[in-house]
Amino acid sequence: MNSFFKRRYIIQGIFILVTIILLGRLFYIQVIDDRYKLSADNNVLRKLIIYPARGIILDRHGKVLVQNEPVYDLMVIPGQVKALDTLEFCGLLGITKKDFDRSFKKAKNYSLYRASLFQKQLSARTYAGFQEKLFDFPGFYVQNRSVRYYPDSTAAQFLGYIGEVNDKEIEKYDGFYNRGDYIGKTGIEKSYEELLRGQRGVRNIMVDVHNREQGSFFDGIYDTVAVSGDRLISSLDKELQLFGESLMVNKIGSVVAIEPATGEILASISSPGYDPNLMVGRQRGNNYMRFLNDPYKPMFIRPIQAEYPPGSIFKVINALVAQQMQLITANTYYNCPGGYRYGRRGFMGCTHVHGTINLEQSIEESCNTYYGYTYSRMIDHAGMRPVNAYKRWRESVAKFGIGTALGVDLPAERNGLLPTPEYYTKVFKNDKWTSSFNISLSIGQGELGITPLQMANVMAIVANRGFYYKPHLVKAIGEKKIIKKEYTEKNYAGIDRKYFDPVIEGMSRVVNAPNGTAYFSKIMDIEICGKTGTVQNPHGADHSVFVAFAPRDNPKIAIAVVVENAGYGATWSAPIASLMIEKYLKDSISRPKYYTERLVNANLLPGQKKPVTKISAKKDSTTAAKPERKAVLPISTPKLKVKENE
């Protein structure tokens, strides 16, 4: 009897255990493990992501710079794919069997039950032909998207481009993006990604066993609507940008133009550039590699990433800083016998003997000797140890936005280079050095590195007589035209307004006086205040530099032009800047046609035969400073020296 009851309890226990296991398995399948649920749902229900239209980008006058056009991404759910005629499939899409196998393997590795990208950006024509046969290929469906289109093919480096997200970006945005989604990679597209991308929607679609749509799930009550991205109004003047790009064809360099009263960037030209439409579509990867391997580096954003010793244009800053320190005045005179001697053997030459000149004349004639004496006063005769005096000088120069990124709304802006006193102490192995050890800083040579954007911003400071607004490329955001607060705040350079007058008078003479180095860039009814420079290049021909603002009173534009390997600033950069100023202020060019054609048609690329020009100009001094000690190579890249006295 006891044995019978014992067996009964054992059998009951077995049944209870089996029941528990079955119930546990059912619970696991239905609640914990979603594979079967996904498989079941995907047999009857498909969730389609509705991608919003990316925000368009306009120029300052409301003209379209970037808009959208439709494309079609082919998606796949590998677990639903059945045997298919791959030859027909590949023929419809214009791909090879190898492409098919690679894409399908990638999708399977990602997930059997979740959709992933199979082929991106099908054209409307390809999609039309494939759509008729789509029901023959269960597991595949088409996702509507939009990509960027650039109607004028302009401002590629400024606007940037979008591309498929990578794993790092998916992780950064905490899963907001999925594989196959697009994101801003460079330029404005990257800086304003979260505003441009909009808000995605979802559409729930019923499908049959043949993968054909059967209508919305529950009449769409569970669907959500996509919200388009914000519209951006850029500060760019499209016509000025296009004109500047035409002037910079077959040249390496950049042009940056700023509105001094607002800090808005009117033109941002990096040359050589590229057609931004080539960074859209299925050939984007091939085009990207071609640009990346181009020796002229069209993907390099020169206005914010190229660093050059400023050369003679830096004399403007030294003239202002020395006055603020009350070490010179507008009536301070120095005698120039043809160069500046320092230490026992050091000599920094000028182009010719200037004689006795004052501050205004030193700017007009770009006298190296004047600034050798001026720098010596600031470092050696400031009533403190030279190393401390240099620290004070450096702090004053830094207020002009030199040596640190200005914070423009573009990624990857470089700081430039303004050497610290610790750097020289380390180089010279003690802190007893004087101005003779780095006298090249007096004329913008040596270790200094300044971006074209920083050059233009210095001109905005001079134009405003002492302050600047942070340079920016987006003027307003959205329908409400929101302006970021940081772009409305003044940044002061620490120089009293009265000290700008003699400097500006000298800059005016550079362009408007018959003996000025940029006289051939004069505009009859617009007073330009500018400064030329020529940067020596140890790897090739000299670089041409010019900075300016105009008009003198109530300035509307500040500009910096750098043309690499082009020679004198007066010959190439100054005329380009002058035409840009005239185009912006008058919306037309009044000078003879040949004046513009000479610049447009010139090929100044390295290795090309330079065009003959009849424009004469005062040459910059090619005589660099000769320090007593062993020369110190600049830290900045590229390693450049400067021709002075243009």
41 inside domain? no
Contact predicate 572/564, CB 8 Å: no
Each residue's pLDDT tens digit, 242-256: 999 999 999 999 999
Q: Does the predicted TM-score (pTM) go above 0.75?
A: yes
Contact predicate 364/459, CB 8 Å: no
The CA distance from 305 to 256, in Å, is: 13
For the sheet with 45-50, list strands across it: 45-50, 201-207, 213-216
Angle value at C-alpha 123, between 121 and 126, nearest 5 degrees: 115
Contact predicate 438/346, CB 8 Å: no
Q: Identify whether residues 319 and 434 lie together within a single domain.
A: yes
The CA distance from 347 to 327, in Å, is: 23
Contact predicate 314/454, CB 8 Å: no
Write phi, then psi, for 531 (nearest 5 degrees). Answer: -150, 130
Write phi, then psi, for 475 (nearest 5 degrees). Answer: -80, -40
Question: What pLDDT is attached to residue 34?
Answer: 55
238 compared with 644, residue with greater pLDDT: 238
Question: What pLDDT is attached to residue 29?
Answer: 62
Residue ending a domain, choose from 216, 234, 252 = 234
Return the half-sphere exposure (C-beta side, CA atoms, 13 A cut-off) of residue 418: 21
pLDDT averaged over every residue in the chain = 86
Each residue's pLDDT tens digit, 95-112: 899 999 999 999 988 888
The CA distance from 456 to 581, in Å, is: 13
Query: In which band, very low, low, confident or very high, does the pLDDT at 606 lie, cut at 50, 70 and 90?
Result: confident
Asked if the model's pLDDT at residue 31 lies above 70, the reply is no
Q: Which two tokens stand for residue 612?
A: 């003959």
Each residue's pLDDT tens digit, 174-231: 878 887 788 999 999 999 999 999 988 888 877 765 556 677 777 778 788 889 999 9
How many structural domains are present in the chain?
A: 2
Residue ending a domain, choose from 180, 200, 234 = 234
Query: In which band, very low, low, confident or very high, does the pLDDT at 2 lie, cut at 50, 70 and 90?
Result: low
Judging by DSSP bridges, how do beta strands 543-550 and 334-336 pair with one another?
unpaired
User: For residue 169, what is the enclosing H or E element?
Assistant: helix 167-172
The CA distance from 39 to 48, in Å, is: 16
Contact predicate 573/544, CB 8 Å: yes
Residue ending a domain, choose from 208, 234, 260 = 234
Mean pLDDT within 164-174: 87
558 inside domain? no
Percent of the chain at pLDDT exceeding 70: 88
The domain spanning residue 320 has which CATH number?
Answer: 3.40.710.10
Q: Identify whether residues 209 and 322 lie together within a single domain.
A: no
11 inside domain? no
54 inside domain? yes
Asked if the model's pLDDT at residue 540 lies above 90, the reply is no
Question: What pLDDT is attached to residue 613?
Answer: 54
Q: Which two tokens stand for residue 474?
A: 């987006």
Question: What pLDDT is attached to residue 415?
Answer: 96
520 compared with 609, residue with greater pLDDT: 520
Asked if the model's pLDDT at residue 611 lies above 60, the reply is yes
The domain spanning residue 198 has which CATH number?
Answer: 3.90.1310.10
Q: Which domain holds residue 157?
A: 46-234
Q: Identify whether residues 213 and 321 lie together within a single domain.
A: no
Q: Identify whether residues 81 and 156 lie together within a single domain.
A: yes
One-character DSSP codes across 258-275: EETTTTEEEEEEEES---
Q: Identify whether residues 230 and 359 lie together within a single domain.
A: no
Q: What residue has token string 């009265």?
A: 498
Q: Identify whether residues 337 and 226 lie together within a single domain.
A: no
Contact predicate 145/183, CB 8 Å: no
Q: What is the dihedral of CA 357, 363, 369, 373, to 10 degrees?
A: 90
Asked if the model's pLDDT at residue 460 lies above 70, the reply is yes
Q: Which two tokens stand for residue 90?
A: 């590949």
Judging by DSSP bridges, how do beta strands 57-58 and 232-234 pair with one another?
parallel
Q: Identify whether residues 530 and 635 lie together within a single domain.
A: yes
- DSSP H stretches of helix in 464-592: 500-512, 573-586
Each residue's pLDDT tens digit, 69-96: 888 889 898 888 888 888 889 998 888 9
Question: What pLDDT is attached to residue 51?
Answer: 84
Question: What pLDDT is attached to residue 25?
Answer: 72
30 inside domain? no
Q: Identify whether residues 310 and 195 lie together within a single domain.
A: no
Q: Identify whether residues 212 and 322 lie together within a single domain.
A: no
444 inside domain? yes
Identify any residues that bridge with 68 across adjacent strands, giving them in sequence order. Answer: 148
Q: Identify whether residues 91 and 225 lie together within a single domain.
A: yes
Q: Identify whether residues 358 and 490 lie together within a single domain.
A: yes
Question: What pLDDT is attached to residue 616?
Answer: 44
Name the E strands within 100-193. Answer: 116-122, 140-149, 162-164, 182-184
Asked if the model's pLDDT at residue 568 lies above 70, the reply is yes
Q: Identify whether residues 217 and 317 lie together within a single domain.
A: no
Biggest distance spanned by C-alpha atoms of the chain: 132
Mean pLDDT within 318-347: 93
311 inside domain? yes
632 compared with 383, residue with greater pLDDT: 383
Question: What pLDDT is attached to residue 216?
Answer: 76
Which of 26-35, 125-134, 197-206 has the weakest average pLDDT?
A: 26-35
212 compared with 114, residue with greater pLDDT: 114
Q: Residue 561 in 3-state DSSP?
A: strand
Question: What pLDDT is attached to residue 607?
Answer: 72
Each residue's pLDDT tens digit, 133-154: 888 888 888 888 888 999 999 9
479 inside domain? no
Chain CA centroid to CA 614, Å: 36
